[in-house]
Structure 1
Amino acid sequence: MSDDVATRLPIRPSPYEHALELLQRGVALACLVEGVSYWVRLLGFFDGAAWRFDLMPFYWQAAAAPLAVLFPFAAVGLWMLASWGPVVWFVCAAAEIIMYGVFPELYGRHYLVLALHASVAIGYVTLRVLLHLDRRRINPG
């Protein structure tokens, strides 16, 4: 590494980088909980109608099985701060937004889930834009 490159490397993460890391790790924990809740539903740990994969209607089977796999996968990517973590979370969030926002008669009305996904997306985009502007201010070239 040349001396010129070494002098331009940040010594400490900016407040925006720190906030983005905290957001991603918090969402990772939520994704892990959500993934476990889908697995609980699929494996039938609770009594009730449609609380087991073979008793679920087809539309729940088609939604719950992929989300049970994708949510923990998103949790790992977000926790590791990997670039693919937010992408997998976005796929999960889009699926739940379609489930609960477009087809509430099938999946139920879960306004809190919709609001949380929207607030996380807005927070993530806001922090990425602020981080980009901060880096552009530091390195105007």
Structure 2
Amino acid sequence: MMVRREWDDFDFKTQKGLKIEVKSAAYLQSWYQDKLSKIIFDIAPTTGWCAETNTYSPEKKRRADIYIFCLLDHKDKQTVDPLNLNQWRFYLLETSVLNEKLKNQKKLSLPGLLKLSPLECSFPQIKPAVESFEKKYCHI
């Protein structure tokens, strides 16, 4: 898997060419909170920068094939451990669903995400899920 270069169009590209965008959110923050944070993911279409050509695309769009939404789902500040993968939930969703259902919407709440029927999985299930998306998107 290739990790993106700074400012590139997406976060990861698999060896078979699947482009992945990763978004994360958490209920708890490192600063003082009166209440838990509302879960909001940034999904805005953007003008993309290509590291290979050092140019920007004039067209705003979502450039990955799939999104992986990562939620640190723990709500107790005394026991939260971001390194404990059991405290995380992962949701995989095809970018085409975002484009079809949400058009140019810039933000997505957790309830909004769940209405789109993403594939929910644990951390060990991410790799096989990504491989299933590769079969759909990558014809190598």
TM bucket, shorter chain: under 0.3
Tell me which structure has the larger Cα radius of gyration. Answer: 1
TM-score under structure 2 length normalisation: 0.26
Which has a greater percent of strand?
Answer: 2
